[in-house]
Each structure stands twice: as structure tokens, then as C-alpha cells.
């Protein structure tokens, strides 16, 4: 079952909208003064929205059961932060819905799973790494690009798998698909980690969570006397 195109029961659909709406309002309030700095970040944000919408169109179905695919959600949040990441993932979800004729009644529930959940997870884990580990470029790239991506992608994939199997009434088959979901999450983490490291090094201006003065400070000149 492909949760990106599934129709959820009306009660769950209404609950999804009710929970998602205040989170969107908070995200809009957080970015109301400055949504994106510079044209490079703007182009990267819009390109990411389109890329994720298209990425979600590539799904592999295992028999008659759940469908799997790369998500790209963790990398997007790591690049643009929680608020801009949430809004961008919702925009990608809306674009994907337009392209694939997904039911709009279920948009709130899908938004909780494919936008809000990864945004909260990636933001929380990124903050924990910043507080607990040394502040240097290597830790920022490896810690966020690999481990935060792996944890966020795996958690989102498992949540989507549980939701899809529950809606299909096939919860007993969870063990058949869990290993595949984790393997795919590991592959995505490797790919996202390499892309994240390249962006931090060659285009740091579009990685809004990166601060050069904190992770790669310039050496100050020694004072005379």
C-alpha cells in the first residue's frame, strides 16, 4: 500500500488537518520576516521542492503489499531548518498530489507523516548534536549528513510502513517489510550524506543551518606587542 496516495478514514483525515494547521501557522510566523536569504537559497529551496515531489513518484512495491521509495525529507530539513523545511515538504506534498491525483482529504494526515514528523526529528537531533558534540566541520557534516539523516529517514519510513499496514489490515506482515525499509534508509543516508557534505563545502550559502563562524572560524591575526 502506498500511503502517499491512500485515502484515510474521515476521522483520521480531520485529525490530521487539525494537528497540522497550527504547526503550519507557527512555521509561517517563524519565517515571516525573512523567508530565504539570497537568490541561491531561494533557487535551492524551490528546486528541492520539485525534486522531492518527483522523488516520491518513484516507488517500488513489494508484491501486493507496501510501497517503498527514497524520501529526501531529512536532507531538506537539514539544509533549510525546521520551519522552512516543513513548509517546503508540504509544498512538495501538494505538488506530488497534483501530479499523481492523490486525495486531498488525506493531505493533513500525509503532512503529519511526511513533513511534520521528519522536520521535528531532524531539528531535534541536529540541536542535540550541536549541544553535545564538539563544534567543528567534520562533526557537523558527518553527524548531520549521515547519522541525523539515517535516524530521521528510518523513523519516518517505519512510521509510514506502520500506518500503511494498519490501513490495509496487514499488520502481521510488518516483519516482512521492516528490513527492507531500514536497508533503504541506510542507502538514502549514504547518498544524502555525500550530497550534504558537498553542499556545505562548495555551496554553504544554501545550507542555512550551517554557520561558518561556529564550525570553521577564521584564524584571527595575532596582536602585536
Segment 186-214 mean pLDDT: 92
Q: What is the pLDDT of residue 121?
A: 96
Q: What is the pTM of this model?
A: 0.90
Query: Comparing 64-73, 107-116, 186-195, which segment has the lowest mean pLDDT?
Result: 64-73
Residue 73: partners with Cβ closer than 8 Å, 6 or more residues away: 52, 85, 89, 114, 115, 118, 119, 122, 152, 153, 156
Segment 191-202 mean pLDDT: 94
In this structure, the chain runs to a length of 225
Segment 152-166 mean pLDDT: 88
121/70 Cα distance (integer angstroms) = 17
**Mean pLDDT over each residue of the chain, to the nearest integer:** 87
152/118 Cα distance (integer angstroms) = 6
What domains lie within the chain, and their CATH numbers? 3-210 (1.10.1760.20)
162/170 Cα distance (integer angstroms) = 9
Q: Is 20 exposed, middle or buried (0-12, 13-18, 19+ CB in 10 A)?
A: buried
Q: What is the pLDDT of residue 172?
A: 54
Question: Above 70 in pLDDT, residue 88?
Answer: yes
Nearest to 76 by CA among 149, 134, 130: 149
Which one has a higher pLDDT value, 141 or 5? 141
Question: Among the residues of the chain, which ranges form H helices?
Answer: 10-30, 38-55, 73-100, 107-111, 117-132, 137-142, 149-168, 174-202, 212-215
Query: Comparing 144-148, 174-178, 189-193, which segment has the lowest mean pLDDT?
Result: 174-178
Q: What is the pLDDT of residue 219?
A: 61
Q: How confident is the model at residue 163 (pLDDT cuts 50, 70, 90)?
A: confident
Q: What is the pLDDT of residues 1-52, one digit of tens each?
A: 567 777 888 999 999 999 999 999 999 999 988 888 888 999 999 999 999 9
Segment 160-173 mean pLDDT: 74
Amino acid at each position: 500500500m502506498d500511503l502517499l496516495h491512500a485515502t484515510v478514514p474521515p476521522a483520521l483525515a480531520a485529525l490530521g488537518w487539525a494537528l497540522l494547521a497550527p504547526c503550519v501557522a507557527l512555521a509561517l510566523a517563524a519565517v515571516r520576516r525573512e523567508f530565504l536569504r539570497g537568490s541561491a537559497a531561494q533557487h535551492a529551496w524551490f528546486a528541492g521542492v520539485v525534486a522531492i515531489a518527483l522523488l516520491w513518484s518513484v516507488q517500488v512495491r513489494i508484491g501486493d503489499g507496501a510501497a517503498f521509495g527514497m524520501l529526501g525529507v531529512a536532507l531538506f530539513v537539514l539544509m533549510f531548518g525546521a520551519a522552512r523545511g516543513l513548509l517546503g515538504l508540504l509544498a512538495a506534498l501538494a505538488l506530488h498530489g497534483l501530479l499523481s491525483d492523490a486525495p486531498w482529504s488525506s493531505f493533513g494526515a500525509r503532512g503529519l507523516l511526511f513533513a511534520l514528523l521528519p522536520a521535528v526529528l531532524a531539528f531535534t537531533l541536529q540541536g542535540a548534536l550541536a549541544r553535545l558534540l564538539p563544534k567543528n566541520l567534520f562533526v557537523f557534516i558527518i553527524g548531520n549528513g549521515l547519522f541525523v539523516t539515517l535516524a530521521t529517514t528510518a523513523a519516518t519510513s517505519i512510521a509510514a510502513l506502520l500506518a500503511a499496514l494498519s490501513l490495509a489490515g496487514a499488520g502481521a506482515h510488518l516483519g516482512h517489510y521492516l528490513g527492507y525499509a531500514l536497508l533503504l534508509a541506510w542507502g538514502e543516508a549514504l547518498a544524502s550524506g555525500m550530497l550534504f557534505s558537498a553542499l556545505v563545502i562548495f555551496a554553504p550559502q544554501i545550507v542555512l543551518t550551517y554557520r561558518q563562524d561556529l564550525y570553521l572560524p577564521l584564524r584571527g591575526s595575532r596582536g602585536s606587542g
